[in-house]
Amino acid sequence: MNPRFPPVPIVAVLAALAALGGLVLLPVAALFAEAAGQGLGRALAAFDDPDSLAAIRLTLLVAAISVPVNTLGGLAASWCIARFRFTGRGVLLTFIELPLSVSPVISGLVWVLLFGAQGWFAPAVDRLGVQVIFATPGLVLATLFVTFPFVVRQLVPLMQAQGSEEEEAALTLGASPWRMFWHVTLPNVRWALLQGVLLLNARAMGEFGAVTVVSGRIRGQTLTMPLQIEALYNDFQAPAAFAMAGLLALLALVTLAARAWLEWHTRRGTDKTMATA
């Protein structure tokens, strides 16, 4: 028997593959099979519905706002946590991870408590004439809350492993802080940053629990794609629901494929660096 492949690890690998196939691959395959089984014409007709088109536009709008904001915020937070030692650093990192620990429903409920009809800031937003809950701003806030940790989780371990020697050398040679960040810090983390952005975008488009609390489920106005899928399915419009679900799943698969390519590219660059060192 080859000592490199003892029987127990092989059994474990086969069990993992079986679990992956039964819990992930089979449901995804069934989804695409059901969407394709309705026929291309019926699938495309699902996107002629004005409410479905509005849901797609709203999903893209929320993602277009959430991704840049959380990318910049996550990059700044990661740099501060990785480069500085200060009182409360561990507490800050814990709070950044909080959205991944609490239920998404709670993530939406906190905004209702702040900006709802009886919320803490309700008088202020009423005076400004701004509607947050049951409107697009509420969806954006809920999405920002649940997606903030993704960039930080990708960058902090990498920046800590890389250390600050190159940045300190750049400053010693007379580079300004901005020039140091642009020419030293950012190139060193660009691939991890892109991976975090991809995960952030996938979660922003697929979020259900947080946005359903603040949306009010107003068709054509506050339903994102996940909420529209549920609405169509509850209305017994299964072909349209599966068509939109297939589109959302396809976007997720494209995101995962891009992330896998980035990981491969990062490993390849690391191997080349080690080979030439």
pLDDT of residue 186: 87
- CA gap 227, 254 in Å, rounded: 21
pLDDT of residue 88: 82
Phi, psi of 228 (to 5 degrees): -65, -35
Nearest to 243 by CA among 225, 263, 256, 266: 225
Phi, psi of 254 (to 5 degrees): -65, -40
Nearest to 225 by CA among 66, 58, 61, 108: 58
Instruction: Going from the first residue of the chain to its last (277 residues), give the mean pLDDT of each consecutive group of 10, the final group possibly shorter.
Output: 61 81 80 72 75 92 95 92 84 87 88 88 86 92 93 90 86 85 87 89 91 90 92 86 86 81 70 55
Kind plus residue range of the DSSP H or E element containing 233: helix 225-234
**pTM (2 decimals)?**
0.83
SS3 label, residue 224: coil
CB neighbour burial string for 157-188, b if at least 16 within 10 angstroms, e if fewer:
ebbeeeeeeebeebeeeebeeeebeeebbeee
One-letter amino acid at 75 equals L
Nearest to 89 by CA among 150, 146, 156, 148: 156
The structural domains of the chain, ordered by start, are: 48-276 (1.10.3720.10)
